[in-house]
Amino acid sequence: MFDLYQLSDEHLAIREAVREVCDAKVAPNAAEADENSEFPQASFDALRASDFHAPHIPEEYGGAGADALATAIVIEEVARACASSSLIPAVNKLGTMPLLLSGSADLKRRYLPRVASGEGMFSYCLSEPEAGSDAAAMTTRAIYDNGHYVLNGVKRWITNAGVSDFYTVFAVTEPGIGAKGISAFVVEKSDPGVSFGAPEKKLGIKGSPTREVYLDQVRIPADRMIGEPGTGFASAMRTLDHTRVTIAAQAVGIAQGALDAALAYVKERKQFGKPIADFQGVQFMLADMGMRLTAARELTYAAAARSERGDADLTYFGAAAKCFASDVAMAITTDAVQLLGGYGYTKDFPLERMMRDAKITQIYEGTNQVQRIVMARQLLKGVI
């Protein structure tokens, strides 16, 4: 598909195109979205106009048909400008991946073109108040009733809830058998009985709303089930194998944005009669930041290649990329704040926002402690 150590001309062109859009029409909205905790509609409109809001949707459904690496590059470049806005393409992929992996042809035709056109976004409803890392402990129920399913329950930590029009919801259809009793469904925002909690007051990614989703006697046609009954949990885990790569890409983008800002500052800021970039202590910090970022990007792209091919070792590489890149993003943004000194601690510069935004990449789509469990299990099974 491509040489890992040299991007194709097509991938380089995608990076250039996304960066141009983001520099002009996404980055200018980032600080305001963070300050006001508001969804960056102007950024969404810019991404939609350029076909970068859901680039992974196949061409047969009206999408751009970007491969997994191209999608990662899009998310990386958007995150470099605004982490909140990068959750537009990232969560569209997260929400629609179960359909792409397991959905019927009819279900795909019904929903994927609407995401491709930007008519609506897709969110992913797995976590619950008492089911986070232990997702199989969910209690949301879906009961079959005369050609329909009736859903009741609460989903928590749902990204872009209230803004998205469509939701992939996981619910128990057969109690008492654990993960094998969980199924997946498409729920629409307009379905009677769907409502949302107040926006969470978060440390970072404030421009991406996070709310609870309430399902109160939500009655939907049975043909909105994704895949066969009892396959929902397996679809959820397969989805995360692919989409942890997108969180890694988001982390790489945040880290790149922080390094770019730090480099620009240290070349201009003078102390003791010369730019602080000339001091060896500063250069050592920059070298470590660059080295870590390069390693994180290469691991992320390697994982994206496996996602595109569906390799057997994707579970390991997806977890490794997400874990490593998010730890790197946290380290680089923290060092970037340090390099700016007191200025880094103020909202006059974007680095304090980037540091706050980076933290969530170590937590969502499975904490980095869970990622290490996933990796260890793969190693013990001899997959790697």
Q: What pLDDT is stored for residue 384 in this prediction?
A: 85
Greatest CA span in the chain, whole angstroms? 80
Q: Which domains does the chain have, with CATH numbers?
A: 9-116 (1.10.540.10), 122-230 (2.40.110.10), 233-381 (1.20.140.10)
Q: For the whole model, what pTM was predicted?
A: 0.97
Question: Is position 228 annotated as part of the catalytic site?
Answer: no
* 359 close to 337: Cβ distance less than 8 angstroms: no
Question: 3-class DSSP state for residue 11?
Answer: helix
Burial, 369: exposed, middle or buried (Cβ in 10 Å; 0-12, 13-18, 19+)? exposed
- Angle at CA of residue 135, ends 134 and 136, nearest 5°: 95
Kindly state the DSSP code that residue 6 receives in the 8-state scheme.
Answer: B
* 61 close to 35: Cβ distance less than 8 angstroms: no
* 213 close to 167: Cβ distance less than 8 angstroms: yes
Compute the distance between CA of residue 365 and CA of residue 80 in angstroms, rounded to an integer. 20
Binned at pLDDT 50, 70 and 90, residue 6 comes out as confident
Mean pLDDT of 272-281: 98
pLDDT tens per residue, range 193-233: 999 999 999 999 999 999 999 999 999 999 999 999 999 99
Mean pLDDT of 99-113: 98
Compute the distance between CA of residue 96 and CA of residue 102 in angstroms, rounded to an integer. 10
Q: What pLDDT is stored for residue 281 in this prediction?
A: 98
Element spanning 123, H or E:
strand 122-125
Catalytic pick among 76, 77, 212, 365 = 365
Compute the distance between CA of residue 271 and CA of residue 27 in angstroms, rounded to an integer. 30
Mean pLDDT of 237-262: 98
Q: What is the mean pLDDT of the chain?
A: 97
